Structure 1
Amino acid sequence: MRSVAHKAYTGPSGGWGSVKSLGTILNREGALLSGPLVLERQNKVDGFQCVSCAWPKPAKPLPFEFCENGAKATAWEITTHRATPAFFQTHTVSKMLGWADYDLEQAGRITQPLRYDSASDRYLEVSWAEAFADIGKRLQGVQDREKVVFYSSGRTSNEASYIYGLFARLFGNNNLPDSSNMCHETTSVALPESIGVPVGTTILEDFAKCDCLFFFGQNAGSNSPRMLHELEDASKRGVPIISYNPLKERGLERFTNPQSPAEMLTLHETRISSQYHQVKAGGDLAALTGICKRLFEMDDEARRSGGQPIFDDAFIRDHTHGFETFVDWLRHQIWEDLEQESGLSRSAFAATAAVYAKSTAAMAIYGMGLTQHRAGVQTIQMLVNLLLLKGNIGKEGAGICPVRGHSNVQGQRTVGITEKPELVPFDKLKTQYGFEPPEKTGLNTVEVVEELLAGKLAAFIGLGGNFARAIPDQGRTDRCWGGLDLTVHITTKLNRSHLLPGKVSYILPVLGRTEIDKRETGPQALSMEDSTSCIHGSRGVRPPAGKHLKSEVEVVAQIAMATLDHNPKVPWEGWMADYTTIRASIGETYPENFYDYDRRMWEPGGFHRKLPARDREWKTKTGKANFITPKGLDEDSDLKKRGPDALRLITLRSNDQFNTTIYGYSDRFRGIEGTRMVVFMNRDDIARFGLAEGEEITMVTQSNDGHHREASGFQVVPYDIPSGCIGAYYPETNLLLPIGHYAEGSKTPAAKSIPITIKRGLVAA
C-alpha cells in the first residue's frame, strides 16, 4: 500500500500549481508536443467540446479555454499508450482485476475489438463483423426483453444517445439508466415539482448580472474549474459569494488566474467566498431552513417599522403557490433544532440572510453535495423556496444552477436517454419509425443493481463509463456479473467493469471526442448540451488512436442492425454515413428545441433550448412555482439511534480524478500525495477515538439490511471537517454504500452521507 504524505496546501486554486500539474500529465501520457496543439482547440467554436465537465463554452472563448482537469481529460484521451491485443495476451483478467483503477487506464487506448475467452482467462482479438453478428444473435435470443440493460455514460454525444435510446425501445424496453441516475436524478425530480423544468434556469451571461451568489455542496476548484473565471469576475465586482460546504475547498476560497500573466507573475490571489459555512453532512436542509426563518423575522421587523419589505410580494402573489403553508411550517421550526441538525450557529444563518436581503438578483449553485443525500429532493426544493421569496427565478442575473458532471449527461436526457416513458415524445417516435414504443417504466441505476443482485438480468450493454465501479454495493455486485449471458462494453480505455465479464463478453473500442471521425460523406461533427441547457457543436481535431477504431454512432447502429428486424423507416446506414441526418431526425422528434439544428449548433455560444421557467411560465400541476414544505429536517433519523460512535461518511473526488477515472495520486488542494487510501477526520474525533495521524482504520457500514460491508487500510488524516463527519475518496468507498441508501423520491445513491463506524487496523469480515 502507498503510504500517505500529507502536507497542508497553502496556495490558491489555479496558479502555478495548475500549470505544473498539466505539464506532469502531458509528459506522462507522451503528449508534451502534441498536447498544446490539441488543447488550443478545446472548447473553441470550431473545435471539440471538453471531454470532462459540462460547464458552458462561451461565445468569446479565452485563448486557452480549458481548465486543469479538462486538460487532464484531454491528455488522458490523446495518450500515446496503447492496449493492443498483445497486451491482453500478456495479462489475464484475474490478474488485472487486482490492479488499481489508475494502472488499468494507464494501459492506454484499446486498439481492436476483443472477446473474452474463459478457457485462457484473456481477452482475444476478434473482427468487428464477428462481434456485431454474435452480439446481435445473442440479443435476439433473449426471450424476456426486460432483462437487457442499455446503460450510457454522460460523455456520449446527442447523436449517439438518440439512436441508442431508439435502439433500446425498438428492442422492447426502456431500461436506459445513465450516469444522471447516480448524480443529478434528484434535480430531475425536485425541480419539475417546484418550477416545472428538470434543469437549471441560469445561463452563463447571468454571472455578469447577479449581485449575490450561493454555493451549496459544489466544489468548483476540482469539478468545474472554468467556473472560477466567472466567480473571479463576480468577486472583483464586489458580489458576495456565500458557500455552504462541509470541507474547506480551495477553489471556493481563493484563485489565481493561470491565464493572466500579471496574476501569475505577481502571485495575485482573488478572494472567492465572502462567507464560508461548514455545514455538516446532511445538514443543508436545516441550514436553508434557518436562512429562510431569519429572513421572515427580518421581513416581519421591516413591515412593523414601516420599512421596505424584504420579500417580492408581487411575485409571490402572481407566480407562486403554497406560500402560506410554507410560512406556517417555518414559523414552527425551533432554532436549537436547526443549529443541531446543520452543525451551524444561528448567527451564521443571520449573516447569510442579511446579505441576501439586500440583493436584487441572486443565483444558487449546487452540486452532488445536495443531490446525493436521502433528503436531497427536499433540500433542493428548499433552495428553490429561498429563491422564490425574492422572485429570483425568471429574471436576469438570478436563478437555480445545478452543476452537472459529465459533459453531456444533460444532453442525453434531452434526446431520450431515460427510463421514464413520460419524458419521451412516443407519439412522434411512433409516427417517425412505425413501431409501438414500450410503455413500461424501465430500470434506473439502483433498480439495475437490485436486479443484478437478484440474478434477474440477461445482458448488459455499456455505452461508455465504468458502471461496475460507479455503483453502490460493489462488494456484493462484483460477484454477480458472471451470471449474465452477455456483457458488451463500448469504450476507449480499460477499466474495472471490463474485468467482470459475463458468460460472453466483448470490449468494443471507439473514437474519442478529440479525434477526427471521417465517414463516406467527410469528417463528421457531434453535439453536446452543457449545464445551462445550451447545445454546442464539436469537431475532432486529431487522427484516431488506431486504424480499427469505430465511432460510437457506427457501433450502436451496427449492433442495432444485427439485432433488430429490418425497418425501412429507421435509416441506420444513412445515419452512420452522415450525422447531419441524425440531427435532422432529432429535430423531427423534438421540433421545439432542435429546429435548424445543424446551423444553430455552430453559433458562437451555441443555442439554448426553451426553458419555460426562465420566462416565468410554470409547467407544474398548479400552474405556478411551488413553495414545497419539507416533511422534516432529519437526513437520517436512524443515525441517532446508532449511538455516539456513528459517523457520516462523505465520498469525495480528488484533484487528480474525474468520476471513476483516476489521473494520479496527487490531491494538491488537500495536501495528499502518493495514495488515495486516506480518511479525512476532525481532530476532535481523532482524539475521541484514540487514533493517531497515519494510523490505519477500517470503516464499517451501519445498515439494517442484514449485509456486512467494510473497507480497510485507510490512513487517518487530520482535516478541517465538521465533527461527526469523515471524508474518503470515491470510488474506493462505494462498497460501503448500501443499494438501499438513496435519496427519497429519486433513488440517487446517497453517497454524501453514509452511516458508518470505525475500528482500528484491519478487521476480518
Structure 2
Amino acid sequence: MTSSFVQVSSVNEKANRFDHPKVGKRETSAVGLPGALWGLSYGVQEHGLAPLLKMNRPGGVDCPGCAWPDPAQQDHGVVEFCENGAKAIAEETTGRRVTPEFFAEHSIMELRDKTDYWLGRQGRLTTPMYCEQGDTHYRPISWDEALDLIAEELKTLENPDDAIFYTSGRTSNESAYVYQLLARRLGTNNLPDCANMCHDSTGKALGTTLGLGKGSVVIEDFYNTDLIISMGSNPGTNHPRMLKALENCKKNGGKIIAVNPMPEAGLMGFKDPQTPQGLLGKAAKLADVYLQIRLNGDMAFMQLLNRELIRRDAIDHVFLEKFCSNVDETIEHLKNVDEEAALMSCGLTMAEILKVADMVEESATAIVSWTLGVTQHKNAVATIREMTNFLLLTGNIGKPGAGTAPLRGHSNVQGDRTMGITEAPAEKFSAALESRFGIQVPREHGYSTVDATLAMWEGRSKFFMSMGGNYVRVVSDTSRAEAGMEKHNMTVHLNTKLNNSHLWPGKKSLILPVLARTDVDMQASGPQCVTVEDSASSVHASIGERKANADLGLKSEIWITTELGKRIFGDDFWQPMQDNYDVIRDHIEATIPGFTDYNRRIKIPGGFMLPNGPRERVFNLPDGKAHLSVNKLEPLVLEEGQLLLNTVRSHDQYNSTIYGLHDRYRGIKGGRRVVFVNPEDCRERGLKDGDLVDIVSVWKNEERRAPNFRVVEYSIAKDCVTAYFPEANVLVPVDSFADESRTPVSKSVVVRLEPLGKRAEDVEKVDVNV
C-alpha cells in the first residue's frame, strides 16, 4: 500500500474471515420446483402454511419483502407469495427468541465478531434493552424508563438538527407519517431513509422530466406491452413475482431485452411453480436479447439507441409536438453523440445497438424497467433522464403497455416517501402540516443518508433513532458508519431482530422490540390495520393476525412514536392517533393529495390507486409538458489494473437481512465471501478460480479493504467484478455519490484485486457462522 494513503477498514476481523463457499452449477432459469420447496421449507417450518396462503390478499398481510404490485383480484394465483416472501414471513414468525439472558451471555464486543447471518438467526427481540458508556453488555429496562430517557434526551438538545430520524422501507404509511410528524414538530427535517440509498436518483430524474418521481405503469401494462427493456435488474432474486408478468408478456407476443453485466437466471427463463410444466422443470424463455453491458454504461447505451432512432426517424413527432418541450436541442445533442466514446463506455457493439433499434421499430408500445443497477452510479440521474428521453421520443408515456417502471425494493419504501419521509419536503406538504396541526414546520433541508453518515463521522449529530433497518450495514462506508454511530450521545433502534447496528452504541443506547407486520396490533379501539404503497402507486391494507408474540409485550412503532410525543410535549395531541389508526389516516387524507376517503377505500379488495399524472399524459411541470433533456456523457476510464465493482444481493438475502448462505442461481453454496470475475480479467492478473484476494478501493487519499474473497470465474462484462453487500459496503466511500440525488455509488466502485497467495482449499476451515 502506498504510504500516502490512509487505510479505512472494519474492526470486525473475525466476521471478515474467509467463509469457505462452495462453487457449483449456475442456473439458466428461475424458480420451478426447487424455488417452491425452498420457500415452503422456510415458511412451513416456522408457522405452517395458513399465513402464507393469506399473504398479499385482501384481509391478509402484505409481504414485508419487495414492492411488486399485486395482480387484479381475478388474476390471483393459488398463492401470491414468492420464495423470498416466505423467507421474510419466516423471519418474522420464528419461535427463536433473543432474551435478556442472551444479552447477559454475550458481550457487545463478542457480538461484533458475529456475521450478519448469525445475528439474524438468533430470533425475535423480546425486551427493551439498554446500555450506557462503560457497559460491556446490554441490560433489560422497562418501557417507561426507556421512553423517559429518550424524551429527556430530545428535550435537552441544544438544536433539533442535532437529531437524526432514520426510516426503513418496511415501515407502514401510518408509522411513517407519525414519525415524520414527531421529527418536524421537534423542528428538524433530518429524516434520511433507505430511499436515499436506492431510488432517489429515480425521483430526481422523473420529477424534473415527467413531473412525478414515481413509475407510470400498472401490472397489466407488463402483460400487454410489445417490448420490455429491463435494465440493471435481477427479478429472479429481487422481484420473483415479476417473472409471471414477464411470462405473460411473452405469451401475448411481447419481447424482452435484458441489459445487465451478469446473466441472471430470472431474466433467461422462468419455471412457473403454479403450473405442471413449471414444476416438472420446463422453463419459459424470457429474454429475447441479453446485453452484458459494462458497469456505468447504461447512459451510453441509451444515447446510442436514441441517436439511431432519430437517424431512422422512428420517433413520434405528433406526441413530441403536443406533449414535450426541449425537443429540438435534445435531438441535436443526440445526433452528435460520440460513437467511439459511447461504445467504449457501454462495452457493447454497434450491431447490438442496431438489433435493439430494430425491435423498438417493430413495437407499438414499450416499457423501460430498472432497479438499483441503474440508480447507484455517479451519472444515475442523467441516465434515467436519457431513458425517459427514449420513452418520450417514441411516444411511450401515458398509453396502455407503455411507460416508466422503476421497481422499488422494500415493500413500502415508496409509501414512506409519499408520507413525508424526506429530508427535503415540498412547501405544499409543510404548509399542509402547519394548517392541519397548528405547528411550526422547519423549511431548511435536512440530512440524507450520506449527509447523516458524514454528520455522525464528524461528530455533528448527537441523537440517532432508527425505525427499523440496519443502518451501519446498508449505508456506504461501513467503517465510518460504525465509528460515527458510537459518537452519539444516544442511539435508539426499533427492530424485530438483532442486527449489527445495535453493536455500535452511543453513550446511551436502547434497543426497542417492536411488532412485526404479521403480529396482531391491539390498541384502545381494537385490532388495527396499516397500509402500504407498491411500485405501481396502489395503496392497500395489511392486517396482522399472529398472536404468538402477545405475551412478550411488544409495542407497535406507532405506539412508541406517539408515547414519545406525549412525554416530550405533554399534551393530548398524540393520544387519538395511538388509540385508533383511522385517526392517522384522517390526518393523511387532509394533508396529502390522493387519499380522499382513505379509511373507506382501504376496505375495498385491492385498495386504491393514487393519482399518476404521466399515466394520463398530465405533466405537473411549470409549462405543463414533459421535458426532454440534454445529458453529457462522461465515460468512466480505468487505469491499468483497475476494475469496476458492482455490489449485489445473494439469492438468500433481502437488503441487509441474510436468510441463508446460498446463492442458488449463481451456484454459490455455504458462504458469501466471493468475487465474480471475468475469466479474461483473471488471466490478465495471473488469477485463477479459487484464488483468495483482498478487494481494495481507492478514493482520493484513502484505501478501503474488504479481505478474504474467493475468486469465482464468471460470465460478467469485461473489466467488471461483483461481490455481495453488505460485505462489500466497506469499499464504497461515503462521499462518493450520484450527482443531484446523492445516492451512494455502489454499482461502479473502482477497485483492484490483491492476491493473497493462497487457494481456497488450502485455508483452514473455520465456521464463522457459529
Partner of 1:586: 588
Residues in 2 aligned to 1:650 and 1:621: alpha-carbon distance in whole angstroms:
38
Residues in 2 aligned to 1:758 and 1:475: alpha-carbon distance in whole angstroms:
20
Q: Which of 265, 268, 272 lines up with 2:282 in the alignment?
A: 268
For the residue of structure 1 that corresponds to 2:33, the secondary structure is helix
Superposed displacement of residue 741, structure 1: 1.1
Q: Does 1:701 align with 2:697?
A: yes
Q: Which of 441, 444, 468 lines up with 1:440 in the alignment?
A: 444
For the residue of structure 1 that corresponds to 2:711, the secondary structure is strand
Alignment-mate amino acid for residue 296 of structure 1: I
Residues in 1 aligned to 2:210 and 2:322: alpha-carbon distance in whole angstroms:
14
Q: Write out aligned runs for 1:195-344 (5 A).
A: 195-265=210-280, 267-299=281-313, 310-344=314-348
- Which ranges of structure 2 fall in alignment gaps of 5 or more residues? 1-17, 759-770
Q: Does 1:754 align with 2:757?
A: no
Q: Write out aligned runs for 1:442-591 (5 A).
A: 442-545=446-549, 546-566=551-571, 568=572, 570=573, 572-590=574-592
Deviations 1:227-249 (A, max 9, x none): 11111111122210011110100
Deviations 1:378-427 (A, max 9, x none): 10000011111121111111100000001000001111111113265122
- Name the count of aligned residue pairs: 738
- Check the 8 A contact 2:29/2:267 in 1, yes or no: no
- Check the 8 A contact 2:64/2:170 in 1, yes or no: yes
Of 606-615 and 658-667, the range deviating more from structure 2: 606-615
Residues in 2 aligned to 1:596 and 1:123: alpha-carbon distance in whole angstroms:
45
Q: Which of 718, 722, 741 lines up with 1:723 in the alignment?
A: 718
Deviations 1:421-452 (A, max 9, x none): 32651222112111110111111010001111
Partner of 1:39: 52
Q: Which of 111, 132, 137 lines up with 2:126 in the alignment?
A: 111
Superposed displacement of residue 8, structure 1: 2.2
Alignment-mate amino acid for residue 254 of structure 1: G
Deviations 1:14-37 (A, max 9, x none): 10120232244347xx41xx2311
Superposed displacement of residue 520, structure 1: 2.0
Alignment-mate amino acid for residue 740 of structure 1: D
- How does the TM-score come out when normalised to structure 1? 0.95
Residues in 2 aligned to 1:101 and 1:423: alpha-carbon distance in whole angstroms:
40
Deviations 1:187-231 (A, max 9, x none): 110001111101001111212321111101111111111111111
Partner of 2:597: 596
Superposed displacement of residue 611, structure 1: 1.3
Q: Does 1:80 align with 2:95?
A: yes
For the residue of structure 2 that corresponds to 1:709, the secondary structure is strand
Alignment-mate amino acid for residue 621 of structure 1: P
Runs of 4+ in 1 over 3 A off after TM superposition: 117-120
- Check the 8 A contact 2:133/2:506 in 1, yes or no: no
Superposed displacement of residue 262, structure 1: 3.8
Q: Does 1:620 align with 2:627?
A: no
Q: Which of 200, 206, 218 lines up with 1:185 in the alignment?
A: 200
Q: Does 1:164 align with 2:169?
A: no
Alignment CA distance shift 1:263-1:483 (3 Å): closer
Deviations 1:530-578 (A, max 9, x none): 0011101010021142521011110111122222353x5x3x1111111
Residues in 2 aligned to 1:522 and 1:121: alpha-carbon distance in whole angstroms:
41
Alignment-mate amino acid for residue 133 of structure 1: D
Alignment CA distance shift 1:423-1:274 (3 Å): farther
For the residue of structure 1 that corresponds to 2:138, the secondary structure is strand
Q: Write out aligned runs for 1:372-383 (5 A).
A: 372-383=376-387
For the residue of structure 2 that corresponds to 1:479, the secondary structure is helix
- Check the 8 A contact 2:300/2:633 in 1, yes or no: no
- Which ranges of structure 1 fall in alignment gaps of 5 or more residues? 300-309
Q: Does 1:655 align with 2:660?
A: no
For the residue of structure 2 that corresponds to 1:395, the secondary structure is coil
Superposed displacement of residue 361, structure 1: 1.5
Alignment-mate amino acid for residue 299 of structure 2: L
- Check the 8 A contact 1:7/1:672 in 2, yes or no: yes
Superposed displacement of residue 4, structure 1: 2.3
For the residue of structure 2 that corresponds to 1:279, the secondary structure is coil
Residues in 2 aligned to 1:170 and 1:120: alpha-carbon distance in whole angstroms:
33
Alignment-mate amino acid for residue 713 of structure 1: N
Q: Does 1:711 align with 2:715?
A: no
Residues in 1 aligned to 2:159 and 2:727: alpha-carbon distance in whole angstroms:
34
Q: Does 1:672 align with 2:668?
A: yes
Q: Which of 339, 346, 357 lines up with 2:350 in the alignment?
A: 346
Superposed displacement of residue 737, structure 1: 0.3
Partner of 2:732: 737
Partner of 1:303: none
- Check the 8 A contact 2:27/2:666 in 1, yes or no: no
Deviations 1:337-375 (A, max 9, x none): 221110000011111110111211111100011100000
Residues in 1 aligned to 2:318 and 2:226: alpha-carbon distance in whole angstroms:
21
Superposed displacement of residue 335, structure 1: 2.3
Partner of 1:419: 423
Superposed displacement of residue 762, structure 1: 8.1
Superposed displacement of residue 56, structure 1: 0.8
Deviations 1:690-728 (A, max 9, x none): 012111101111211x22211110000000001100000
Alignment CA distance shift 1:621-1:633 (3 Å): farther
Partner of 1:644: 640
Superposed displacement of residue 588, structure 1: 1.0
Residues in 2 aligned to 1:528 and 1:198: alpha-carbon distance in whole angstroms:
17
Superposed displacement of residue 688, structure 1: 0.5
Residues in 2 aligned to 1:119 and 1:612: alpha-carbon distance in whole angstroms:
55
Residues in 2 aligned to 1:294 and 1:59: alpha-carbon distance in whole angstroms:
38
Q: Which of 21, 25, 34 lines up with 1:8 in the alignment?
A: 25
Superposed displacement of residue 59, structure 1: 2.8
Alignment-mate amino acid for residue 540 of structure 1: G
Alignment-mate amino acid for residue 694 of structure 2: T
Alignment-mate amino acid for residue 446 of structure 2: G
Q: Does 1:56 align with 2:62?
A: no
Partner of 2:14: none
Partner of 1:306: none
Partner of 2:679: 683
- Check the 8 A contact 1:378/1:630 in 2, yes or no: yes
Residues in 2 aligned to 1:685 and 1:284: alpha-carbon distance in whole angstroms:
21
Deviations 1:38-60 (A, max 9, x none): 10110011101110000112232
Deviations 1:664-693 (A, max 9, x none): 110000000011000000000111100121
Residues in 2 aligned to 1:313 and 1:746: alpha-carbon distance in whole angstroms:
31
Q: Which of 182, 188, 193 lines up with 1:173 in the alignment?
A: 188
Partner of 1:607: 608
Partner of 2:111: 96
Query: Between the two proteins, what is the percent identity of the paired residues?
Result: 37
- Check the 8 A contact 2:132/2:507 in 1, yes or no: no
For the residue of structure 2 that corresponds to 1:155, the secondary structure is coil
- Check the 8 A contact 1:381/1:628 in 2, yes or no: yes
Superposed displacement of residue 296, structure 1: 1.8
